[in-house]
Amino acid sequence: MTAPGIEVRGVWKKFRRGEIHDSLRDLVPALARRVLGRIPKSGALAPGEFWALQDIDFEVRPGQALGIIGSNGAGKSTILKTMTRILRPNRGYCTVGGRIGALIEVAAGFHPDLTGRENVFLQGAIMGMPAHLAREKFDAIVEFSGIADFIDTPVKRYSSGMHARLGFSIAAHLDPDVLIIDEVLSVGDFAFQRKAFDRIATLAKSGIPVVVVSHQLDRIAALCTEALLLERGRIAHRGPAADCIATYVLGDNRAPVDAADCPVRLERLAMAGPSEVRSGDWARFRISGTVLRPVTENLELVALRIRALQTGEVVFATSSSHCEVELPPIGPFAVDVALQLNVPAANYVIETNVWDPIRHRDASPGPTTRIEVTEGASFYGPVQMNAGMALARDPS
């Protein structure tokens, strides 16, 4: 009996660019070799091939929830496909112990002409749900999807939301030993999304091994104990989910910008005081730089962004023009900034840049720094409002 868990060991996977069959002449022998089992040494790349995954190595044990993040084309889905046996790696191997519950394309097996009821059993079977389980869970599935009134209507008459909700509900009742989730966290309306997320969180926290692929970093942060950052098929970072997301978010903002002709260069960002601030308190820092030539363009010369590292979300942005600060026409300058950190306790990054509001991008990136906001006056919610309460003297 294999213990539930996912083991991915030294997995390499190559793909080809362009059309797969260039001509019958080179395809037939290649296919014949593969079918007959004489696979050539798979280490080398033929022309036009590239590594979609390179030496991916990790494991997920019970109690672990692993998030996989990275930009489009980094190899996230390819990893999931090797885990679910859809793709076979060129080198290395994946083993998954136990029954896989894959929340990937949860409505892929629906046939438009069949009713919701018929599709529940069909999709359930496609996902590997045993017949008795499908019958047992049928009522729960319909109840969860919230479309009981339409369960005997052909799904071609469903709205896309109903379609997705029914699909998700089936997948959510799989009772898997191992859970694999690919971008299905945003189905249906707001209420259903919350319900779906709660359901996944319950499954994830029940102690089964979980792998989640998502671009919604806050979901990864909330679900996962650990995360992998993929960059062009390689593991660029692995660690606690928050760290990994931070690496991803920071790396992403260092995208090269052609800053050569920017009239202002931001050089230093210095915190006045510790980089740990209580929620609701003031943080003070100084941004220094140089005006290289007289500014004729419409630019926000000293812009700053506060980004929550857990989610990558920008929670606040402003600039010298908004604060009505004029820089000297030429030469070095320094701007003192004070920020009241009315945000919940978490890690943030302060990014400085010269902002081009017309093209809506950084004209030149500046230095960044991390700041940790610690628990201040107790509150709950996304904003620190520095609540004050006092007992009224005249309660009329």
Partner 1 sequence: MSHRPDSATAMTGRQSVPGPDGPLESSTPPAGPAVAGPEGAKGRPGFAAELREIVQDLWHYRELLYQLTLRDVRIRYKQAIMGFGWALFMPSLIVLSGFLVRIVMAHLSGTTLETSSVAGIAVKAMPWGFFVGAIGFATGSLTGNLNLVTKIYFPREVLPLASVLAMGFDTLIGTAALIAVLPLLGVTLSAALLWVPVLALLVFCFTAGVSLLLSCANLFFRDVKYIVQLLLTFGIFFTPVFFDAVMFGPTGLHIVMLNPLAPLLEGLRLSVVQGHHLLVPLIETTSSGQQVLVWSPWYLGYSAVWAVLGLLGGAVLFHRAEFLFAEYV
Q: Name which of 2 and 275 has its Cβ closer to partner 1.
A: 2
210-213 and 178-182 strand pairing = parallel
Which listed residue (48, 73, 125, 268) binds partner 1 by CB under 8 A? 125
Minimum Å gap between C-beta 213 and partner 1 is: 13
Does position 243 bind partner 1 by CB under 8 A?
A: no
Q: Does 278 bind partner 1 (CB under 8 A)?
A: no
Choose between 51 and 197: whose C-beta lies nearer to partner 1. 51
- Quick one: which segment of 108-116, 300-308, 335-343, 379-387 binds partner 1 (CB under 8 A)? 108-116
Check residue 85 for interaction with partner 1 (CB under 8 A): yes
Considering only 22, 46, 73, 88, the residue that binds partner 1 (CB under 8 A) is: 88
Question: Using CB under 8 A, which of 60, 129, 210, 299 touches partner 1?
Answer: 129
| Helix/strand/coil (H/E/C) assignment for every residue in the chain | CCCCEEEEEEEEEEEECCCCCCCHHHHHHHHHHHHHCCCCCCCCCCCCEEEEEEEEEEEECCCCEEEEEECCCCCHHHHHHHHCCCCCCCEEEEEEECCEEEECCCCCCCCCCCEHHHHHHHHHHHCCCCHHHHHHHHHHHHHHHCCHHHCCCEHHHCCHHHHHHHHHHHHHCCCCCEEEEECCCCCCCHHHHHHHHHHHHHHHHCCCCEEEECCCHHHHHHHCCEEEEEECCEEEEEEEHHHHHHHHHHHHHCCCCCCCCCCEEEEEEEEECCCEEECCCEEEEEEEEEECCCCCCCCEEEEEEEEECCCCCEEEEEECCCCCCCCCCCEEEEEEEEEECCCCCEEEEEEEEEEECCCCEEEEEEEEEEEEEECCCCCCCCCCCCCCCCCCCCCC
228 interacts with partner 1 by CB under 8 A: no
| Binding map of partner 1 across residues 12-41, x = CB under 8 A, - = no contact | x--x----x----------x--xx-x-x-x
231 binds partner 1 per the rule CB under 8 A: no
Q: Is residue 42 near partner 1 by the rule CB under 8 A?
A: yes
Binding marks (x or -) toward partner 1, 339..378, rule CB under 8 A?
A: ----------------------------------------
Tell me the number of residues near partner 1 by CB under 8 A: 61
- Is 87 a binder of partner 1 (CB under 8 A)? yes
For position 100 contacting partner 1 by CB under 8 A, the verdict is yes
Closest contact distance (angstroms) between CB of 56 and partner 1 is 11
Q: Summarize as ranges the residues that interact with partner 1 (CB under 8 A).
A: 1-4, 9-10, 12, 15, 20, 31, 34-35, 37, 39, 41-44, 51, 54-55, 57, 81, 84-100, 102, 104-105, 108-109, 111, 113-114, 118, 121-122, 124-131, 134, 177
